[in-house]
Amino acid sequence: MGDLLMTGAAGGAGSFLRPLLRECYGRVILSDRAEMTDLVEGEEFRQAELSDPQAIAAALQGVDRVIHLGGQPVEADWDTVNASNIAGLHTFYEAARAAGVKRVVFASSNHAIGFYGRHRRIGADDRVRPDSLYGVSKAFGEALAALYADKHGIGTLSIRIGNVAMEPADTRRLSMWLHPEDLMQLCVIGLEHPEVHNQVVFGASGNARTWWDNSAAFALGYRPAFDAEHWAADAVKGDGAPDPVGDRFQGGGFCSQGFEGDV
Ligand code: 15L
């Protein structure tokens, strides 16, 4: 059996997952474009920038399963999004194919479907409605994952992550918050479940106010242990000033950035 690699390991979700991965797998290879110096027993570090095919190939040596969190994590200009999340993701999948990787957990995002209204309940098969160039790049990532699954046999679980944090930060997050342990559960499903080929699931805990039908994840055995509602009284204190556009849509402020439509 090959090694497990996690890209984007220095980021927020990566930092939450590190101890959980060590506990579950004992050994994990971490990769990030930023240098990481706080390694502990069971962790190895391979520095790589997604736009550098040689570095990505070196990071993937001996690896057969990847949690791919790396890339641009929020909205940015086209060149930045393209370098990491479009061209960079293609570089990553090509290197993964060449390295013989069998499974990828792809960190997609709620921003691939951010322009659905908050009154809508959607499932993983509803069409994408990106709210930003970043959201478009995540929709592209889901499509690239489908191609590499169907054509090259790399099974991928694309997780449309809501917001990973210890507690929900505001009213919007009450509907799409994801506790790190629930994220870990989804990652293990993505890495291990024999039926994963090219599935899209929602990365959300068992939130009472959810906007998402996550039956695709439940069918794979996902049993979230947390519900944002438990923190509802505190979460609403995190709400910012009213946003007439963002407050209507699931993607929140990503929708109002540069918005020129009708409110
Ligand atoms: C994301 O996709 C981002 O990576 C994260 O930083 C948050 O902005 C999150 O979405 C969110 O919508 O809360």
Question: What CATH number did the domain enclosing 55 receive?
Answer: 3.40.50.720
**pLDDT tens digits, one per residue of 172-207:** 999 999 999 999 999 999 999 999 999 999 999 999
**ipTM of this complex:** 0.98
Nearest atom of ligand 1 to the alpha carbon of 254 = 12
Nearest atom of ligand 1 to the alpha carbon of 111 = 2
Rounded CA-CA distance 146/62 in Å is 23
Rounded CA-CA distance 175/209 in Å is 5
Does some domain include residue 261?
no
Does some domain include residue 97?
yes
Rg from Cα positions in the chain:
18
Q: Which of 72, 109, 175 to mutate to test the pocket of ligand 1 (most atoms within 8 A of CB)?
A: 109
Q: Is 134 one of the annotated active-site residues of the chain?
A: yes
| Cross-strand partners of 28 | 43
Q: Could you give the number of structural domains in the chain?
A: 1
> Residue 1's pLDDT band (boundaries 50, 70, 90)?
confident
| Cross-strand partners of 44 | 29
Does some domain include residue 262?
no
Q: Which residue stretches of 153-208 are H helix? A: 173-176, 180-192
- In what order do the strands lie in the sheet containing 28-32? 43-47, 28-32, 3-7, 63-68, 103-109, 155-161, 198-203
The predicted structure's pLDDT at residue 115: 98
**pLDDT tens digits, one per residue of 21-53:** 999 999 999 999 999 999 999 999 999 999 999
Q: What's the pTM value of the predicted model, to 2 decimals? A: 0.98
Pocket of ligand 1 (CB under 6 A): 73-74, 109-111, 163
Does some domain include residue 72?
yes
**pLDDT tens digits, one per residue of 54-92:** 999 999 999 999 999 999 999 999 999 999 999 999 999
The residue whose C-alpha atom lies closest to atom 13 belonging to ligand 1 is 163
Q: Count CB neighbours of 97 within 10 A.
A: 15
- Are the CB atoms for 81 and 72 separated by under 8 Å? yes
Range of the structural domain that residue 142 is part of: 3-256
Tokens of 38: 């706080």
What single-letter amino acid sits at 201? V
| Residue with tokens 């929602």, as numbered in its chain | 202
Query: Ligand 1 centre from 135 Cα, in Å?
Result: 10
Does some domain include residue 263?
no
Q: Is the pLDDT of residue 128 over 80?
A: yes
